[in-house]
Chains A and B, each alone.
Chain A
Amino acid sequence: MTEKLDELKQLVVTGDREKKAPDMVRELLDEGEKVDKILNDALIPAMELAGQRFEEKEFFVPELIIAARAMDRSIEVIRPLLEKSGISKRGTLVLGTVKGDQHDIGKNLAKMMFKGAGFEVIDLGHDVSVEKFVDAVMENSADVVGMSALLTTTMIQMGDVVKRLDEVGWRDKTIVIIGGAPVSREYADKIGADIYAATAPGGVELVKERLKAS
């Protein structure tokens, strides 16, 4: 069984060209493998490995997305079981591109990576207002809020979300992570965000560390 879990992991990392990964998940379930083992010993490590390869510049954006897509297809098979068995998700992330900005490729990449790491992702899309971010954080009791901006004219909205979260008493309950071409570690510090993510996989790791520490 462990061999099969390894094989599944490899299929996801390499992008599962023949779409065998969901079938292998079904096979493992039929053979009595526990759903948490499939998730924690094959699927999540597969995405961690893909993310690591991306950080080490062995994988690039296409390879990473192909792995995330294979992960997503595999997760779909076990989703009903995960929900039934009450296996806890790693956390809830509210995600969007800020108001005035329609760039969503980076945001979508972050969504795939966080989903692949076992987070529930509430995707608000692009052109998301401050109020919409804050309302979604409160409604979903989000552990993390992720904001993306590609323009120097729109990134200021990120600071407004941080301020508004503070005003409604949610700042301390939520980790704020930002990303996008014009933002930086310095900018995150300036607006009071917790994490600046230069890459989507890097952002996932930083959030995981922060959640572990809290």
Chain B
Amino acid sequence: MKPERGIHVIKNFPIQVNLRATLRHLGYKPSSKIDDRIKGMIDNAIERAVELAEPVGIYFIDKIVDHTADEVALECGFRIESKQVSRLLNACVEVVVFAATIGPAAESKAAEMMHDKPAEAVILDSAAGETAEGAVDYLHRSIQADAHRRGLHLTPRFSPGYGDWPLEAQRDIFASLKPGDIGITLTESCMMIPRKSVSGIVGLGPLPGIRTGASPCKECSKNIYIK
């Protein structure tokens, strides 16, 4: 069943890249000393990743019809089997299912540079990952503006592969959201192509009650993607 309010696509929007997140991705702590040469390489890589980005996002918003400790079901039939997601969606009334990508150009450029300029290549790849996160941030900000008018607020986002929501849940997202329409495909091993893509869910609900702020990933003991 299709979500009642339809699937929305947004294209060609501005992206802000979080420098701190890019540095964290490369292993730096806020207190780490970074020499000017490397700082310059990181600034260049962010600029380049943004230049090469062709951002596009897709999402739908649907009502929660069933919510237990283990599972959340939406009106369109989309189901999330995860205790952590169920907790994250506490007091939420709707869920946004989304995917966004910056396209293949930045990751291709990084792969091309790997042989001769490996440091620049790795930095560009990290910057491209954060550029994809920046694309999702834009998507969420635009959803947030509309949600606020309806008296709803957003939870942090959560993606398949985080915590107890298995990576295989990507298949459910792809079946209902159809990100193929914006050029994102899923491999058999549930990897998104282009790699610099992000998919997941965000809860919508009234304040007080819903969880906002820090990502629930921080409380996950597995924490495999944030080390």
With A62-B26, A108-B118, A151-B167 known, 11 other A-B pairs at CB within 8 A are: A62-B42, A65-B119, A66-B119, A69-B118, A100-B189, A101-B191, A105-B125, A109-B122, A152-B166, A154-B189, A181-B227
Interface string of B115-132 (1 = CB under 8 A from A): 000110011010000000
Measured in the bound complex, the distance between the Cα atoms of B124 and A65 in whole Å is 13
Q: Is the CB of B37 within 8 A of A17?
A: yes
Say if the beta carbon of A197 comes within 8 Å of chain B. no
Say if the beta carbon of B69 comes within 8 Å of chain A. no
Say if the beta carbon of A57 comes within 8 Å of chain B. yes
Measured in the bound complex, the distance between the Cα atoms of B32 and A6 in whole Å is 27
Measured in the bound complex, the distance between the Cα atoms of B118 and A122 in whole Å is 18
Measured in the bound complex, the distance between the Cα atoms of B184 and A199 in whole Å is 31
Which 8 pairs across A and B sit closest by C-beta, in order of nearness? A100-B189, A60-B27, A65-B119, A153-B189, A182-B224, A154-B189, A66-B119, A65-B118
Q: Is the CB of A181 within 8 A of B224?
A: yes
- Distance in angstroms from B162 CB to nearest chain A CB is 11
Say if the beta carbon of A81 comes within 8 Å of chain B. no
Q: Identify whether the interface residues of B are mostly helix, strand, loop, or mixed.
A: loop
Query: What are 12 A-B contacts defined by CB distance under 8 Å?
Result: A57-B29, A57-B32, A61-B27, A63-B38, A65-B122, A102-B187, A103-B195, A151-B161, A151-B189, A151-B190, A153-B168, A154-B189
Measured in the bound complex, the distance between the Cα atoms of B41 and A17 in whole Å is 13
Measured in the bound complex, the distance between the Cα atoms of B188 and A101 in whole Å is 10
Which residues of chain A have C-beta atoms less than 8 A from B118's C-beta? 65, 68-69, 108, 112
Interface size class of A (residues with CB under 8 A): 20 to 34
- Distance in angstroms from A99 CB to nearest chain B CB is 8
Interface string of B176-218 (1 = CB under 8 A from A): 0000000000011111010100000000000000000000000
Interface string of B1-30 (1 = CB under 8 A from A): 000000000000000000000000011110
The residue from B41, B189, B193 contacting A62, defined by CB atoms under 8 A apart:
B41
Which residues of chain A have C-beta atoms less than 8 A from B122's C-beta? 61-62, 65, 105, 108-109
Measured in the bound complex, the distance between the Cα atoms of B37 and A17 in whole Å is 9
Q: Is the CB of B195 within 8 A of A62?
A: no
Measured in the bound complex, the distance between the Cα atoms of B121 and A112 in whole Å is 14
- Distance in angstroms from A53 CB to nearest chain B CB is 12
Which residues of chain A have C-beta atoms less than 8 A from B37's C-beta? 17
- Distance in angstroms from B84 CB to nearest chain A CB is 15
- Distance in angstroms from B193 CB to nearest chain A CB is 8
Which residues of chain A have C-beta atoms less than 8 A from B119's C-beta? 62, 65-66, 69
Measured in the bound complex, the distance between the Cα atoms of B152 and A18 in whole Å is 57
Measured in the bound complex, the distance between the Cα atoms of B29 and A57 in whole Å is 9
Which residues of chain B have C-beta atoms less than 8 A from A66's C-beta? 38, 119
For B188, give the chain A residue with the smallest CB separation: A100
Q: Is the CB of B28 within 8 A of A60?
A: yes
The residue from B26, B191, B227 contacting A61, defined by CB atoms under 8 A apart:
B26
